[in-house]
Amino acid sequence: MPPIDILILSNGPGEVSTWVRPVVKALRQQLGNDRTSVRISVILSPCTHAMGTEAAIARSYPEVDRVQSPEHFLSFLLWGKTAENWDWHQKGVVLFLGGDQFFSLFIGKRLGYRTVIYAEWEARWYRWIDHFAVMNASVKAKIPAPYQDKMTVIGDLMEDIKSKSSPAPLLNNTSDALIALLPGSKPWKLDQGVPLCLAIAELIQAKRPHTRFIIPVAPTLNLETLAAFANREKNPIINQTGWVGACLITSDGNTPYLKTDGGLKIELISQFPAHDILSQCHLALTTVGANTAELAALSIPMIVLLPTQRLDAMRTWDGVPGILANLPGVGSVFAKMINLMVMRKKRLYAWPNIWAKEEIVPELLGELQAEQVAQIVLNWLENPAELERIRERLKSVRGQAGAAWKMAQIIDEQISRELLPDPS
């Protein structure tokens, strides 16, 4: 068999950690570890939610041979040249695992490779793409009959993560709870999210003293940077809102933690991805973003926090709104105007709610008060049946496990077709 290239196109932190990782493992199991026969490359495109460590995470996967970071993507898209001037085998497959589906079509045509797209919610360019691996039957049902044979339902790639993790133990009125706090990774989220979450945690702990709290630390953050957002002297919003501050405690051999003003210890989990410990959580307090999709894949009930005490904080909108919000000097004014307009539209923000087209997990938007959120959490903890109901609803909006293995089979089939003699 001639050597084959598998080029994976991806982009954000969620896709790299929850789609690329299980797929490359399955590909090596299916196709073998002979790098002279099958070479796996990952090229990343820019993403508004990127943390800057996506390339490093992809390089850490032993199944991957080459990785190109997103700052070089445009040059590759336009001119076909990678930053390191990679060579390409004559035969190959382009696999879409995040970004814009059009990239797969364009790059596949340029390289002369077959194209496969993982379509989570929508399959585009189906007239020209060779095959689609779709999450569920509803995606397939949207495609015209003449192209249905290009669609294979494989399930949810993120479910493969959950299937390897132990679920949280059942909660009752007397048992201890484990709660995850996910305040985000960007400064505009952290300056409000960290002290608000700490304030909520202290109120919960006052009512349920044995509750345990963790913060899975984003790989782009070091502990000192995270802790700075809990420091009253460095983050003035703490005193302005009456929220809670904390200090960082580290010691050799022990898990580092934030110690709040009231003495509560919140463990800092640096392992990434932190699926093993997250799967043990009974619920989570989280900001918006890819983390809501990850929590949904793990079937973890969540409360989505969108505090607006600093209305100009959110500035990561796509297109013209994002440009205006980040203009020097006047960007703050534009950001406030844009965010006010967005708030009035009453849209859904969390991925599981977007998928379900309804609010299956609460989204709290506005000048949030810690007491308000803590009471919702306490009500949930006192009513485990409600937590279980939300958990089941989260399961219902995702697909089945085993998707990575099915994806590897599809790629194997496409390679076989690629190797067929040209009928002309």
DSSP 307-355: E-SSTT-----SHHHHHHHTSTTTHHHHHHHHHHHHHHHT---SHHHHH
For residues 103, 406, 112 and 79, what is the CA-based torsion angle, rounded to 10 degrees? 30
Instruction: Give the mean pLDDT of the chain.
Output: 87
Residue 119: half-sphere exposure toward Cβ, Cα within 13 Å: 30
Fill in the amino acid letter for 31: L
Question: How far is Cα 43 from Cα 361, in angstroms, rounded to an integer?
Answer: 34
pLDDT-derived band at 59, boundaries 50, 70, 90:
very high
Give Cβ neighbours of residue 259 (< 8 Å, ≥ 6 apart).
Answer: 246, 247, 248, 249, 265, 266
| Bridge partner list, 179 | 213, 283
Question: How far is Cα 346 from Cα 126, in angstroms, rounded to an integer?
Answer: 33
- The closest of 270, 244, 243, 248 to 258, measured between CA atoms, is 248
Tell me which architecture the domain covering 4-158+400-418 has in CATH: 3-Layer(aba) Sandwich (3.40)
Mean pLDDT of 411-422: 83
Query: Is the pLDDT reported for residue 62 higher than 50?
Result: yes
What is the pLDDT at residue 318? 46
Query: Is the pLDDT reported for residue 172 higher than 80?
Result: no
Query: Is the pLDDT reported for residue 260 higher than 90?
Result: yes
188: how many CB neighbours lie within 10 A of its CB? 16
Mean pLDDT of 18-29: 93
Residue 406, CA distances (Å) to 126, 131, 152, 228, 410 in order: 20, 13, 9, 45, 6
Of 252-256, 320-324, 385-389, minimum mean pLDDT range: 320-324
For residues 235, 239, 243 and 247, what is the CA-based torsion angle, rounded to 10 degrees? 50
Domain residues of the chain, as ranges? 4-158+400-418, 178-396
User: What's the N-to-C CA distance of the chain in angstroms?
Assistant: 21
Question: How far is Cα 4 from Cα 7, in angstroms, rounded to an integer?
Answer: 10
Query: Is the pLDDT reported for residue 164 higher than 60?
Result: no
What are the tokens at 227? 């802790």
Of 62-76, 180-194, 308-322, minimum mean pLDDT range: 308-322
Mean pLDDT of 295-307: 91
What is the pLDDT at residue 124? 93
Question: How far is Cα 132 from Cα 148, in angstroms, rounded to an integer?
Answer: 10
What are the tokens at 124? 């585009």
For residues 74, 78, 84 and 90, what is the CA-based torsion angle, rounded to 10 degrees? 130
Question: How far is Cα 391 from Cα 393, in angstroms, rounded to an integer?
Answer: 5
pLDDT-derived band at 388, boundaries 50, 70, 90:
very high
Mean pLDDT of 409-424: 81
Task: Pick the more confident residue, 168 or 269.
Answer: 269
Q: Same CATH topology for 4-158+400-418 and 178-396?
A: yes
The CATH superfamily of 178-396 is Glycogen Phosphorylase B; (3.40.50.2000)
Task: Pick the more confident residue, 239 or 166.
Answer: 239
The alpha helices in 142-279, defined as continuous H runs, are 159-162, 187-207, 223-228, 237-241, 275-278
Helix (H) / strand (E) element for 4: namely strand 4-10
Three-state secondary structure call for residue 187: helix
Examine residue 273 and say whether the peptide bond preceding it is cis (omega within 30 degrees of 0). Answer: yes
Query: Is the pLDDT reported for residue 330 higher than 80?
Result: no
Question: How far is Cα 104 from Cα 116, in angstroms, rounded to an integer?
Answer: 8
Rounded to two decimals, the pTM is: 0.72
